[in-house]
Chain A
Amino acid sequence: MGIENATPGILVLFFLMLGPLFYYIEKAKKNKNLYVRKIAGIDAIDEAIGRSAEMGRPMSFSTGLTSISPTLYAVLGVLMYVSKKAAIYRNKLLVPQNNPEVMAIVENVVRDGYRAEGRISAYNPQNIRYLSQDQFAFASGYQGMMHRENVASAFLFGYFAAESLILAEAGKQVGAMQIGASVSPEQVPFFICTCDYTLISEELFASSAYLSRDHIQLGSLIAQDKAKLIIFVLLIIGILIATVKSFYPEISLPNIERLVTATYSEVYEYLRGI
């Protein structure tokens, strides 16, 4: 009975994170020159596209095992950018796919990229290839594609699991310039070892805003930083409470977890006590 997870703490956090989103998007609308620090991996995207155009060899863009999720939407911004550039330089852009639902969205994004540059006739739907939903069958298909097509530049953006090293190594074997971006920390070391540039975790979410300078994306990027600041403050409070408790166990201080999970009646009782 009652309100299950909507404790006062959760609701406060919910609105604390939602508020800056609207505020900074509005702010970004007025001022487009918001500062985003330099990220070498994102700058290298243009270099990789240029390399592929110069060599006359295709480039590939893999979303890995990403399903329909916020990560996919972050990746789509980069894919849009790459497909626009592919349309301008007339590069062959291969997009191997693992998930049919994602493929439908990816097809639209790539087509829109070509259309935006007025080169819809250059768009070839057969370059967006469904390989397999099985993790290793997909990896095997990707390896084959990299070797057959002799890819010059490879982008590995999204969620990857154990197949990440197989994919990246396939690119390395054909001498492709590779940029990897993974949200799973376990796969980051593999990309660092095999890719020329690696975006770590949230840099992937920043890449689309960095490339497009779109006010919505820039605003949400700053809102994301502010949300991180809130979590950072909570961490500091937690550390302070734990430290004080370890030195003075007789002092009654609530755990940081209790601040978030305390129910309405508990908060009311606590406030009444004060």
Chain B
Amino acid sequence: MKSNFRANLVKLLTFIGGMYFVVEFLVPLESYIDNFQDVHSKISDGYVLIGTMAFAIGIINLLLVYGSKLVFKRKGWFDSLVLLFGLALMLSVSVLDWRESLHSSKNLYELNMLSNFVETIISDSKSKKKGVPEVKERVRALERAYLKNVDVYERKISLVRNVILERKEDVSKVSSSLKDYRILNDKIKNAFLVNADLPIIQELISEQRQIAQHLFNLVYETSFIKKLYRLLYDGLFVSLGAAMFSLLGIYIAIAAYRAFRIQSFEAALMLGAALLVMLGQISFGLWISEDLPAIRNWLLQNPNSSAFRAIKIGASIAGLVMAFRMWLSIESDFTSGEDF
């Protein structure tokens, strides 16, 4: 009874979920529902969330499989130790790197707010929005907010130079940006004093925000954690991936050797077609015959494309029928959730 309830609940949720996406595809819901795109992105976020939670299952499995080898000192325990150490190291470095980047973006909070405020004032005045203070009053508020934050940012920006000096990095990268930042400070103050032209103020604040972002980013990029992360990820992980990918070159040659042994009529046909395609691809082929590129193109665009399309049509229809079955929970025992 309990099992049936669970199975029925799963079926119902699957049907509702599937129906949502069918309707979302067929009907332009954004025409009927306000902020539909926001709702849709939240629903899509839900999928990402479930996927993220599933990562815990992966980590638990790694700990169980390789942790038990290590604890009971089974064959290959040292490899397991290296794997788990790598996992712990990469996990810790990634978390610390995320914290560092968060700190860097937090530094920009006030400038982001100011930038958004100018944008809102401009868009409200363009759309003649009612129920908001007058533009002049809002510009004065903007000016007050800006002046209040000038000193705060002056301190933050000065710190950047000290940090870069401490880390024995190239200070010249910072100096010119610092100079530009301070020039913009004066320009913005003047703009408020002279005629408070909003588009100009918006442009100046945005420029200043970009310079500040560049400076804080320099601090983040030169931090020990970021360097360690780059060493582990770009230096080690990406290189290992590239090494694995390069294996493909050798394996393709081995597979080609196996495939091109003439054991049957079909194999001979394939070898002939492959030779024509290869010779048609290289400039050397032109010395043999000027028709080779045209033959190559015909082989790729006609027999090859037709076969590809046939395979794709077959797989897509089969996938569609399977998707219908999944949506309507017309399933066999292995997915029904019922005990058997």
Contact = CB atoms under 8 A, between A and B. Distances in A.
B321 interface: yes
B251 A169 contact: yes
A165 B318 contact: no
A211 B326 CA distance: 19
B272 interface: no
Interface string A179-198: 00001010011101110000
B28 to A, nearest CB: 4
Interface of A: 1-6, 10, 17-18, 21, 25, 69-71, 73-74, 76-77, 80, 97, 99-101, 103-104, 109, 112-113, 116, 125-126, 128-130, 133-137, 139-140, 148, 162-163, 165-166, 169, 183, 185, 188-190, 192-194, 200-202, 204-206, 208, 212, 214, 216-217, 220, 223-224, 227-228, 231
Contacts of A101: 50-51, 54, 57
Given A126-B64, A134-B241, A190-B255, A216 B26 contact: no
Interface string B94-124: 0000000000000000000000000000000
B323 A70 contact: yes
B211 interface: no
Given A6-B26, A74-B318, A130-B58, A185 B64 contact: no
Interface residues of B, number: 57
A3 B26 contact: yes
A21 B325 contact: yes
B252 interface: yes
A100 B332 contact: no
B326 A103 contact: no
Give the dominant DSSP class at B's interface.
Answer: helix
B238 to A, nearest CB: 10
A125 B321 CA distance: 32
Interface stretch (B198-206, B217-225, B305-313): B305-313
B319 A71 contact: yes
B255 A18 contact: no
A25 B329 CA distance: 13
